[in-house]
Every structure is written in structure tokens, then in C-alpha cells.
Structure 1
Amino acid sequence: MSAVMAQRRGSQETEAAVAAAPAPGQEQVLTPAALAFLADLHRRFEPARQARLAARRERQAYFDAGGLPDFRPDTAAIRADDWKVAPLPAALLDRRVEITGPTDPKMVINALNSGASCYMADFEDSTAPTWPNLIAGQRALREAVAGTLEWTAPDTGKHYALKPFEQQAVLLVRPRGWHLDEKHLRVDGVPMSGSLFDLGLFAFHNAAALAAKDRGPYFYLPKLQAMEEAQLWNEVLDHVERALGLPNGQIKVTVLIETLPAVFEMDEILHALRGRAAGLNCGRWDYVFSYIKTFRRHRDKVLPERGQVTMTQPFLRAYSELLIQTCHRRGAHAMGGMAAQIPIAGDAGANEAALAKVRADKLREVTAGHDGTWVAHPALVPLARRIFDERMPGPHQQHVLREEVLVTRDDLVKPPLGTITREGFENNVEVCVRYLAAWLDGNGCVPIHWLMEDAATAEIARAQLWQWLHSDGLHLDDGTPIDEVLLDRAFLNLSSRLGDRSRLPGASRINEAIGLLDRLTHADELAEFLTLPAYARLD
């Protein structure tokens, strides 16, 4: 079903067509004025977005031919010069604990009430972008900004409401990456950018209210690969500020450094956004995925199984320390990443082991010089806060310049040693299938074996399976060849690993997920993102 809405703007007709069955509350967020605003964003910036995506493909072809990412000679002056980003607003000075998660009303309330410094409302890796999810998320955030959001659990009747504004976490919103379309909204017959849809619609409805409270609007920008992509975002945000009557630089952004090419352009990315950059974040899981994807044709850069690829590995430690050094030199925050563990109910020993991993991870981050960290569950907020409070008495530690850090190109691209076990191989298959099934069913954030899995962690598992199967001569640690026979056996063993399927999120779509993973792992080319072919199956 399609509803077409149009609005005159001068002599030009702006047409935006909603190519989906109406979602509850759609008319409240997709007003004629909001649609006109989104259509204008599309017309202004879609050609530049497509040019940047074409540049990504060209760069990947260079890597596939044997090339390596490196620091750019044409931007050496930016790296050498002394400059800083604009001063940070008061609301973003102390970000020691940030909670992240999807944008459904219950999560929004719990996250804002969690005691965290900030809440990153995530339209990207932890939201399956069904049309109802997107509309519900925009409605929930609009009501949260207005202070009216409440929710009652339909099964238990439990009522959820926001704490007073002064006790809430600072809200940041993560739109989808430049590579994703929003197929449910078409402008002049073309799907618009998911990035522009998410950010544009949120800003249109909430920017003025947030600015009046000195709370932004603030955003996280995902999956950038080059300074030119940051420049494009800066042009978009300049336009949004003008169109909505905000002062220049009112919108602040934190950029996730979660692609391998971007780690070589951190100075350049901050420079491109220097009037509005609040920091960089170690998006560790997407970064590992990007490493695999960048080197998908490099036989000498195959990573061991995911459980062995921790932040203590030299190539990831180099990434983290270079990010801290870069941010602090430029007056920006260096944000740490997500520990995937979540509390384990009913098993005190296993729960303590999981919490010990979280403690070690957060201690590593604050000791290295990070200014804050991420958690995925409200129960982990006190633990992370306690560790940062003990070792970071001020609001941040930008004074820790890490001038002793010297990171070379080879430090960032050298893979760690490790193995691939049968359990590691079969766990990748299970995580992919379970996450895909849940995602196809509309759930983008899924606890599996007491780890919070999202699109980034599923991408690691999927990309590793493809690379292992397409790298001749690889073996498990017990000598078993890694080949299609091993994959077929893993699919056969999946039933026993899954147990009672009916109790799993997305149970009705497990067979569909198995078929999709099977096709993706056997394909001659590694699909750029798992969510691209899966998106075609949504709604």
C-alpha cells in the first residue's frame, strides 16, 4: 500500500511517497512539513552520497587487488598543524558512562532513567528498520524530548515513566550509515538515504526543543570511511541548522571510528567537523568486521575466531591508543567501546565471571586514557561508573595526551596470532542464524549466550565464515579442513544447538535465516553488509 503526500514549495512540487502500510502514529511524525523537509534533504545531498559510496567501492577494489590502507600524504598538513575542535557544551563535558540500545519506548525510558551520563538511541545496529519500528522510534524520542513519554507493558501491566529531566541521561541519536537506503520513503521515485531520514526527521521535530534546553541536538555518526564523508555530514548539518533556525555549530556530533580506513583519517575527520565534533568512539565490533571486509582477499590477514580477537590484541590496542592521542591533542573526547557481556540470572558463578570481564575491559579503557565507555544493559551502569569514578575524578581526562604513543601503518594492519576451533566455527553459524532470524522478525538487539548481539557482532561472524571458506588451506585447530563440508555439518548440528526453536526470537524465520546465510557464505563475493540483502526481506 502506498500513500503519496505532496507539498508546494515555491514553484516546485515536492513529492514524498510512503511505500508502506501506515504505521501507528505515522501522521504525527510524517507531517506535510516534515515530508517537505526530508525531500529537500534528499534532493540536495543524494548525488553527493552516491559519489561517496562510489568512492568506497573504488577504494575496496584497490584493497582487493592487494593494496593496504595508509595515512594520506595529501592531508599531511592537517595532521601536522596545531588546531582544536570547538569547545564542548556543558552537557557533553562528562560522558563517563553511556548506555546504548534501540528506540522502542520501554528501552528509551529505561535508558534515560538508567543513571548513565548519556544514552545513544540507536536507529542503526540495534534496530531492525521495519517501518513500524522507525515510526515508533521517532515517536518515542519526540515524546521523550517533550517529557511526556510513558509506556505500559501489555503482559504485566507494569507502567514505565521518565524521571525528571535533570535526572535523565543526555540524549544522543545514531542514524543509519551512509550506505543504507530508506525504501519506505521515496522522493521522486527514489528511496532516500536512511541517514538523512533518521537524522532529518529527529532534528525537524526536536532540534528547537533540545537547543532551548541546551541539550543539542547531539548525534553519533556511524561507519564513516573517509574525511570526505565527514565533510558531507558537515554540509548536511550546516543546512539543517539554517533550515531550522539554529545557530551554526549548535548540533554536535561524535564519530564512531569503526572502519579500518577511517582509523588512518581520524585527524582529518575531526578537522572536517571541527566546529561541531565532540569526540571519536572506538566502535570495536564494527571495526573488527571492517578489518575482515577490507582484507577479504588477503590470505595473510585472516583473523582467528572472534573470542580471541580482544582489545588486548596489538592491532586493536594500537587503534585505541591512537584514537586517544588524536582526540586529546584536538580537544575532543575519546570514547571507549562496548563490552558485550550482560548480567546472567540464576547462575552466580557465571554472572561473576561475566562481570569480571566487564570490569577488566573498563579498567583497561580508563587506564589507557578514554574519557568514557559504553554499556548495553542498565545493570552495568553502576559497575562502569564506579571504575571511572575511582580513576577519573574530573569530567574527562583530555590532559592525558599519550604523547609516547607511536603507531605505524603496520601496527594497525598486522593481524594477531590465534586459532579457529570447531566451537568457534559453529558458534559463528549459530549467532548469524539466530540474529538474522530475529532481525527479519523486527528485533535488532538479541541476547545470545549472555552476550548482547547486534548487527555489528553478527557481521563479524558472517564475514569470518565467508573469509575462512574462501581462503584455501585453512584448518581448525584439530586439523579439520575448513570447507563446505564443515559448513554443512555446522548447519546440521544447528538443531541441537538451538534446542526448542519456538522459544527463540524470530523462531518462524530461522529456516529463512539459514538459507540466507548459506547463500551469503557460498557467494563468490563477500556482501558489503549483511543488512543489505536482509533489508529486502523486511516488511
Structure 2
Amino acid sequence: MCKFLTHESALRDAEPRRGTSAFVNAIRCFNRPPTTMVHGVKILSNVVPQAQAEILTEDALTFLAALHRTFESTRQNLLVARDVAQRRYDSGVAFDFPPETAHVRADPTWHCAPPAPGLEDRRVEITGPTDRKMVVNALNSGAKTFMADFEDSNSPTFASMITGQVNLRDAIRRQIDFEVGGKAYKLVATPAVLIVRPRGWHLDETRVAIDNSPVSASIFDFALYFFHNAHELVKRGYGPYFYLPKMEHYLEARLWNDIFLFAQSYIGLPHNTIRATVLIETLPAAFQMDEILFELRNHSSGLNCGRWDYIFSAIKKRRADRGTVFPDRKDVTMTVPFMDAYVRLLIQTCHKRKVAAMGGMSAQIPIKNDPKANEIAMEKVRADKLREVTAGHDGTWIAHPLIHNIARKVFDEHMLGPNQYHVRREDVRVAAADLTNANVPGKITEDGVRSNVSVALAYSTAWLGGNGCIPVNHLMEDAATAEIARVQLWQWVKYAARMNNGQPITVPFVDHIIDELAPTIKSTVPGIKEEHLRITTNYLKGQIRQQWPSDFLTSDLMPFLTMADGVELRWQPSFL
């Protein structure tokens, strides 16, 4: 048991405040953060002692510190390499397949690990954050797997990160059943197989310091989940399975593989027990699919088309190219040339290496009280899933349990076996120019501008309030879709794009729309705070004035969550 210097008496004596949970009151009662007994490790945020005792144990923090001290310098070097690569792209260097790894792509003899238990058939995967109700509903949804998300659909308050770990631990041990409002939440006999997505390499966990530096959010999420659950998962017939987000280079996959080897040795788990699916959601990664699989080959369970982040990356990485100005977000579909090429190459690459080629997320969600509108939305889901399964995908993503039956029916009709690894797609020939083809039919409209402003403001404001995925106009929006909205607004202003009515998109024009729509966000996202809306309004106005857009809005806004968690801003970004 980890020893903490905490104000337990303050917790015992705290009086509940009207309309506020005991959990929140407990946090408020602490006036200084706990200090751990693990050398060099400090928990900087105010958290509940029970969560500390159960998750932030001395042994777990010792493991976390070992990972940090072994791998943090490599992570930092890889992040510097991202910046160097971006400057090369800005100077006009073309995207291409790496010449130094041509032999890896050309060699047909190597394959990845066979599917681990529970990952042979992944025809429908449901995704969502790690709150307790979501975890139970997702595991009970009928989907083959559940990707529990610490990343894009999650607002990383420290409380949510720690309680999310508690929820996953309890789900694995089948101790998650609970009742609220007279409704019982209880796991079914055969729940979905659990896969966990940690945060990306670019993010720091600012509430935990090791040797006076913030720990990697990726390592933090991975370490706590793996340490507490890996042996238990294996005992129950499965294993520690992960989704790895936002990588930009095969060396970033090598870092993950090295961490897997270290972690398995550390706790005495056989090597190659871990399995990881990599989301191909950055433009540079699309040119290195073989290499990413090769680096992770003994731990690999395939690749996924992270479509929304991929569109975001396609704009951001080619930010200096005025020839890549895209039309309204709704027109950048999976059938436009550069997206179609990306899909075909991913399926071919995965099946050549005998691993899963997973499809992406349809943004539509069920529409209550409007059967006609709901049927139109669900038909879009059917068409999207039909496109995926006939292209050769081995599974697809859904965001809502009520969409499971639609996706499942399409895949059951067209994928008779557990997967489609036999669909080799040897007809596919994808060149570098195909992946960077900026020919996207469509127009920029005022409705498109307004939609982007609304989504960027609504999501960012909700995120600051602790909500990482929200419905807007019957679409599920998360960090990835909000990022598209943000960088499109920047791109349109930067290159003086014109709408279909001939009007140029200027800073004053976008400012006017932001000011007009900001007051309406309160009805879109009930319960938001005026302070948060003011922050995101100013942030969005600042973004359209930048020479280049920020890499990630989550990185930009994280200091506000850090401050809300009671942590002094020691790593304050310049925009604040």
C-alpha cells in the first residue's frame, strides 16, 4: 500500500454541499497535494485517498518511475523529430515512403503475431470514455470488443483518469455492477473484450512529476492499466490489449515495442503477450504502415483507419500548401481520392502481414423522436459499413450501443468468417501522389463556416468542463472532429478562401460568427460554464490569427484542467 501525506481528517469532516457530489467535496477539502513515498515521484493534484490507495500504489508508481526514467529521453527526441519533419514539409519537401526502409516494405516473408485470444473476430468495436456507466453499457452492447478511451473522447481531469482506471480494474474482475436512480448496471455473462487507448505521445500528465518533470501521459495511462491488470487479464483467458494513437513515425512504434518488452519483463509476463492496434491517423504514418507493423510485429494486432484525425493531420501537416484548402468538412468523405487511397493501402498492408485492418467511426448517432431523420442517419451508417466490409476491412467502430445491430448485420452478411485476412487486395497500387491528392469536390459555404465554429466552441467548452464527447446536430463530436473544425477555420482565413457566394473568409468575418454563435452554445451543451465559454471563444479567435495552427487543442487547453486540479502551472504554454 502506498503511503501518502494526506488530509484524511479534512475528508472525514467535510460537510456535503448542496448539488455537489461527495467526491467533488472531498477534492475541495484538500488544501495541498499528497506526496508519495516513492523517490522522485510527486502527485501534484488533489485526489481522493481511496483512488490513491487503489491505483496510485507504491509499487505502481515505482513501475511508472522506471518507465519514465528509461524511456522519457527517447520520447522527447521523437517529439523534436516531429518538429524537424514539419519544418521540412513547410519548406516544400514532398511526403514519400522512407527510402531507408524499402527492404521492409518489399520483403513478403515477415508477418505479425497471430490474433490473441478474443481478437480473432473484431467485426464490431464500440468506443467511448471510461466513466462507469459507459464501461458497463459498452461491455454489454453486443460488440466484439470495447475500446476504453483515455484519449479523444475523454476530458483528462485527474479525477477522470484515476476513476477510469478504477472502473476498468473493476470491470476486468467483474466487480463493476452498481445501481443509480433505481436502475441496475450489471455485466452480462460474456462482455466485449477490453482494449484500452492511452493518450498520445505529445501529451504530458501534468499532475504527476517524476524527478521534477511531467510524466508522459501515454506512459502514465499504459503503466497503471498494465501494472494492475495484466496478470488478471491473462488469468481470465485474454491479455493486455491496446490501441495506440497519433504516431507519426515508425520509431515511435519502436518506442512502444520497447516499452512493452520492458513492462512484460518487469512484472514477469511472457514476452509477446501484449497486443496493440495502431491507429493510422496522421499523414506521415500513412507512408510507414509496413514499418509500424514491423516494429510491433510480435505485439501487433493490426491497424485502424482513424479517419477524423487523419483528415485533421492531412490539413495540419500540409499547412504551408495553399493547394490543399478543403471544402466544408461534410464533403471530405471516405470516398475522396486521398482518403480512398489511404483505406486501400491500409487493408492491403494489414492483410499482407496477416493482421486486422479495422475500419473507422461513423459520426451519426440515433435521433430520438424523429423517425424519418433517424432512418436517414442510420442509412448513412449502413452505407459506410457496407463500404468498409466490401473493401476488405475486418471490423468497424461504433460510438453508440443502438448502432451495434446495424453494423453487425452488414458485417455478418458480407464477412462470413471471423475476418478477411484472405482478401489480399493485390490489385491495389498506391503511390505517394495518391495519398496527397488534394482533389476534394465540394464548396466552402457559410453553413460550413458556422458548423465549424459551433463544433469547435461547443466541444472545447465541454472539454474544459470534463466532457470529452458530445452530440452536436445528431453527430458525435470528439477531439478529432473538433480539430478538423479548428484547422479548417485557420486554413480558410490563412489562404483567404472564398465561400460559394464569393465572399472571402476573413478574420473579422469569423470573429463575427464566433460572437454570434457563442451565446447559443449554452443550449447545445447544457451546464457549461460562462468562464469556459469565454476561454474557448478567445482561444478560437486567437487560432485563426496564428501563422500556423497549434498542434493540438488538447495540449493548448490542458493548463486549464491542470489549474482546476489545483496544480501550479510549472509548464505554462506561451499562449496563456
The yes-or-no answer on 1:307 pairing with 2:330 is yes
Report the CA distance between 1:505 and its aligned residue.
Answer: 4.6
Percent identity over paired residues: 50
Question: Residue 342 of structure 2 corresponds to which residue in structure 1?
Answer: 319
For the residue of structure 2 that corresponds to 1:17, the secondary structure is: strand
Report the CA distance between 1:159 and its aligned residue.
Answer: 2.0
Code of the aligned partner of 2:112: V
Deviations 1:104-133 (A, max 9, x none): 000000000100000000000011110100
Question: For 2:158, which of 102, 125, 131 is the aligned residue?
Answer: 131
Counterparts of residues 431-442 of structure 1 (less than 5 Å): 431-442=455-466
For the residue of structure 1 that corresponds to 2:560, the secondary structure is: coil
CA distance in 2: counterparts of 1:468 and 1:311, whole angstroms: 21
Counterparts of residues 503-514 of structure 1 (less than 5 Å): 503=526, 505=528, 509-514=532-537
Q: Any gaps of 5 or more consecutive residues in structure 1? A: 8-13
Question: Residue 226 of structure 2 corresponds to which residue in structure 1?
Answer: 203
Question: Residue 339 of structure 1 corresponds to which residue in structure 2?
Answer: 362
Report the CA distance between 1:340 and its aligned residue.
Answer: 0.6
In structure 2, do the counterparts of structure 1 residues 441 and 496 end up closer, same or farther at CA, with 3 Å as the change threshold? closer
Code of the aligned partner of 1:239: F
Code of the aligned partner of 2:164: G
Question: For 2:67, which of 31, 41, 45 is the aligned residue?
Answer: 41
Report the CA distance between 1:496 and its aligned residue.
Answer: 6.8
Question: Residue 56 of structure 1 corresponds to which residue in structure 2?
Answer: 82
Of 18-27 and 462-471, more deviation after overlay is shown by 18-27
Code of the aligned partner of 1:337: G
CA distance in 2: counterparts of 1:247 and 1:502, whole angstroms: 47
Of 502-511 and 338-347, more deviation after overlay is shown by 502-511
Question: For 1:119, which of 131, 143, 146 is the aligned residue?
Answer: 146
Report the CA distance between 1:499 and its aligned residue.
Answer: 6.5
Code of the aligned partner of 1:25: A
Question: Residue 31 of structure 1 corresponds to which residue in structure 2?
Answer: 57
Code of the aligned partner of 1:19: L
For the residue of structure 2 that corresponds to 1:420, the secondary structure is: coil
CA distance in 2: counterparts of 1:515 and 1:351, whole angstroms: 35
Question: Residue 11 of structure 1 corresponds to which residue in structure 2?
Answer: none
Question: Residue 70 of structure 1 corresponds to which residue in structure 2?
Answer: 96
Deviations 1:131-166 (A, max 9, x none): 10001100000001111002333xx332212112xx
For the residue of structure 2 that corresponds to 1:5, the secondary structure is: coil
For the residue of structure 1 that corresponds to 2:40, the secondary structure is: strand
Report the CA distance between 1:333 and its aligned residue.
Answer: 0.5
Q: TM-score with structure 1 length normalisation?
A: 0.96
Contact kept in structure 1, 2:458 and 2:524, CA below 8 Å: no
The yes-or-no answer on 1:270 pairing with 2:293 is yes
Report the CA distance between 1:498 and its aligned residue.
Answer: 3.7
Deviations 1:468-497 (A, max 9, x none): 11113x101111111012102211320575
Counterparts of residues 11-22 of structure 1 (less than 5 Å): 14-22=39-47
CA distance in 1: counterparts of 2:359 and 2:508, whole angstroms: 40
Report the CA distance between 1:305 and its aligned residue.
Answer: 1.3
Contact kept in structure 1, 2:457 and 2:521, CA below 8 Å: no
The yes-or-no answer on 1:104 pairing with 2:131 is yes
For the residue of structure 2 that corresponds to 1:337, the secondary structure is: strand
For the residue of structure 1 that corresponds to 2:358, the secondary structure is: strand
Contact kept in structure 2, 1:4 and 1:15, CA below 8 Å: no
Contact kept in structure 1, 2:445 and 2:499, CA below 8 Å: yes
CA distance in 2: counterparts of 1:286 and 1:192, whole angstroms: 24
Question: For 2:186, which of 141, 147, 161 is the aligned residue?
Answer: 161
Contact kept in structure 2, 1:112 and 1:169, CA below 8 Å: yes
Q: Any gaps of 5 or more consecutive residues in structure 2? A: 1-31, 565-576
Question: For 1:430, which of 443, 454, 474 is the aligned residue?
Answer: 454
Question: Residue 120 of structure 2 corresponds to which residue in structure 1?
Answer: 93
Code of the aligned partner of 2:47: P
For the residue of structure 1 that corresponds to 2:35, the secondary structure is: strand
Deviations 1:267-307 (A, max 9, x none): 00000011010100000000000001101110011111110
Deviations 1:177-201 (A, max 9, x none): 0000000110011100000000010
CA distance in 1: counterparts of 2:526 and 2:223, whole angstroms: 37
Question: Residue 421 of structure 1 corresponds to which residue in structure 2?
Answer: 445
Deviations 1:450-479 (A, max 9, x none): 11100000000001111111113x101111
For the residue of structure 2 that corresponds to 1:25, the secondary structure is: helix
CA distance in 1: counterparts of 2:308 and 2:262, whole angstroms: 32
Q: TM-score with structure 2 length normalisation?
A: 0.90
CA distance in 1: counterparts of 2:238 and 2:433, whole angstroms: 41
Contact kept in structure 2, 1:105 and 1:150, CA below 8 Å: no
Code of the aligned partner of 2:491: Q
For the residue of structure 2 that corresponds to 1:522, the secondary structure is: coil
Report the CA distance between 1:500 and its aligned residue.
Answer: 3.8
The yes-or-no answer on 1:467 pairing with 2:494 is no
CA distance in 2: counterparts of 1:413 and 1:365, whole angstroms: 21
The yes-or-no answer on 1:537 pairing with 2:560 is yes
CA distance in 1: counterparts of 2:135 and 2:396, whole angstroms: 19
Report the CA distance between 1:418 and its aligned residue.
Answer: 2.1
Counterparts of residues 510-521 of structure 1 (less than 5 Å): 510-521=533-544
Report the CA distance between 1:98 and its aligned residue.
Answer: 0.0
In structure 2, do the counterparts of structure 1 residues 324 and 500 end up closer, same or farther at CA, with 3 Å as the change threshold? closer
Report the CA distance between 1:39 and its aligned residue.
Answer: 0.8
Report the CA distance between 1:320 and its aligned residue.
Answer: 0.3
Counterparts of residues 353-502 of structure 1 (less than 5 Å): 353-415=376-438, 416-472=440-496, 474-495=497-518, 497-498=520-521, 500=523
Question: Residue 147 of structure 1 corresponds to which residue in structure 2?
Answer: 174
Report the CA distance between 1:537 and its aligned residue.
Answer: 0.6
Report the CA distance between 1:515 and its aligned residue.
Answer: 1.3
Counterparts of residues 180-191 of structure 1 (less than 5 Å): 180-191=203-214
Code of the aligned partner of 2:156: P
Code of the aligned partner of 1:133: S
For the residue of structure 2 that corresponds to 1:68, the secondary structure is: coil
Question: Residue 224 of structure 1 corresponds to which residue in structure 2?
Answer: 247
Report the CA distance between 1:384 and its aligned residue.
Answer: 0.3
Code of the aligned partner of 1:158: K
Of 76-85 and 22-31, more deviation after overlay is shown by 22-31
Code of the aligned partner of 1:298: D
RMSD: 1.3
CA distance in 2: counterparts of 1:378 and 1:151, whole angstroms: 19
Contact kept in structure 1, 2:507 and 2:544, CA below 8 Å: no
Report the CA distance between 1:227 and its aligned residue.
Answer: 0.7
CA distance in 2: counterparts of 1:347 and 1:417, whole angstroms: 31
Report the CA distance between 1:503 and its aligned residue.
Answer: 2.7
For the residue of structure 2 that corresponds to 1:256, the secondary structure is: strand
Counterparts of residues 219-298 of structure 1 (less than 5 Å): 219-298=242-321
Contact kept in structure 1, 2:205 and 2:220, CA below 8 Å: yes
Code of the aligned partner of 1:4: T
Contact kept in structure 2, 1:434 and 1:505, CA below 8 Å: no
For the residue of structure 2 that corresponds to 1:91, the secondary structure is: coil
Contact kept in structure 2, 1:439 and 1:506, CA below 8 Å: no
Report the CA distance between 1:508 and its aligned residue.
Answer: 5.3
CA distance in 1: counterparts of 2:522 and 2:228, whole angstroms: 45
